[in-house]
């Protein structure tokens, strides 16, 4: 006996707009989340913040009370050295960003982030924003200690505002640079070593002695590196030294470093963490 089976036509489903499997997070939600994450990590590691403040303060006290009399017997060396200490403080604080970024890249947390609908830059934004906030706070502490040991600026309120603007821009630039170094390093230890090299740059500048007192072969390096015009700009705002073209040169250096470091960091992040 033969049974004839009737073949039913396949059921058709009305076509609709494609649904996104990983909808993107809108606005700045991702950036706020990673800023909060980095801030909580900072609060759980007070030793790093303490060292970022203590080391520059110790250097300032050493240069003021040990070397100051030999360099400037009139006792006004503290007014000269404080702008350099401010940038040294920013460098110490920003160097930890390289270690934090490298730790994120090597501990596997980025692989978890890749499963989320996040913009890749949000991870770096969290590190950079918190580092800028931390370093501005450390700068305020260093200036407060400097006032206690004899620093006497003659800056107006507008000069103070301009000075903090220059310092904030410099901190942003060096923090982005350290974040890119953390991405390029193979381990947190290597990132710490690479960052430590940059911390020597203020010593080859006008931070502690005038450039004119340096050997002839070293003077061009000190004059044409980014730290010297930034220090001279800060020194001009605080103690009234001639500004000249230092302000524009400092602005160009800081903006250039921000652009180069941000582009380099974005390229390194996409290369190491994969495109979202």
- Spell out the per-residue pLDDT of the chain, length 276, in tens: 455 555 555 555 555 555 544 555 555 666 677 777 777 777 777 777 777 778 778 877 887 888 777 777 776 788 888 888 888 888 877 888 888 888 877 776 666 666 665 566 667 777 788 888 888 888 888 888 888 888 888 889 999 999 999 999 999 999 889 888 888 888 888 887 877 778 888 888 888 888 888 888 989 998 889 899 999 999 999 988 888 888 899 999 999 999 998 888 878 877 766 544
- The pLDDT assigned to 136 comes to 86
- C-alpha 60, offset from chain centre: 21
**Dist CA 35 CA 41 (whole Å):** 10
* Nearest to 206, CA basis, from 19, 71, 10: 71
CB atoms within 10 A of CB 258: 19
- The pLDDT assigned to 61 comes to 83
């Amino acid at each position: 006996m033969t049974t004839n089976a009737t073949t039913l036509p396949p059921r058709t489903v009305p076509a609709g707009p494609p649904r996104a499997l990983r909808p993107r997070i809108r606005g700045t939600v991702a950036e706020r989340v990673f800023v909060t994450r980095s801030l909580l990590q900072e609060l759980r590691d007070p030793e790093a913040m303490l060292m970022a403040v203590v080391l520059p303060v110790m250097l300032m006290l050493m240069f003021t009370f040990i070397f100051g009399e030999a360099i400037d017997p009139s006792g006004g060396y503290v007014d000269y050295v404080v702008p350099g200490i401010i940038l040294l403080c920013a460098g110490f604080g920003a160097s930890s960003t390289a270690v934090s970024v490298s730790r994120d890249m090597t501990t596997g947390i980025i692989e978890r982030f890749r499963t989320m609908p996040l913009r890749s830059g949000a991870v770096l934004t969290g590190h950079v924003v918190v580092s800028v906030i931390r370093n501005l706070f450390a700068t305020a502490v260093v200036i407060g200690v400097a006032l206690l040991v004899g620093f006497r600026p003659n800056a107006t309120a507008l000069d103070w505002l301009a000075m903090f603007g220059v310092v904030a821009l410099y901190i942003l630039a060096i923090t982005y640079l350290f974040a890119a170094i953390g991405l390029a390093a193979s381990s947190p230890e290597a990132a710490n070593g690479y960052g430590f090299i940059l911390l020597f740059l203020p010593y080859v500048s006008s931070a502690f002695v005038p450039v004119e007192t340096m050997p002839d072969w070293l003077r061009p390096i000190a004059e044409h590196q980014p730290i010297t015009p930034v220090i001279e700009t800060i020194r001009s705002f605080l103690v009234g030294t001639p500004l000249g073209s230092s302000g524009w040169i400092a602005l160009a250096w800081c903006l250039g470093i921000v652009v180069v470091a941000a582009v380099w960091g974005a390229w390194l992040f996409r290369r190491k963490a994969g495109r979202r």
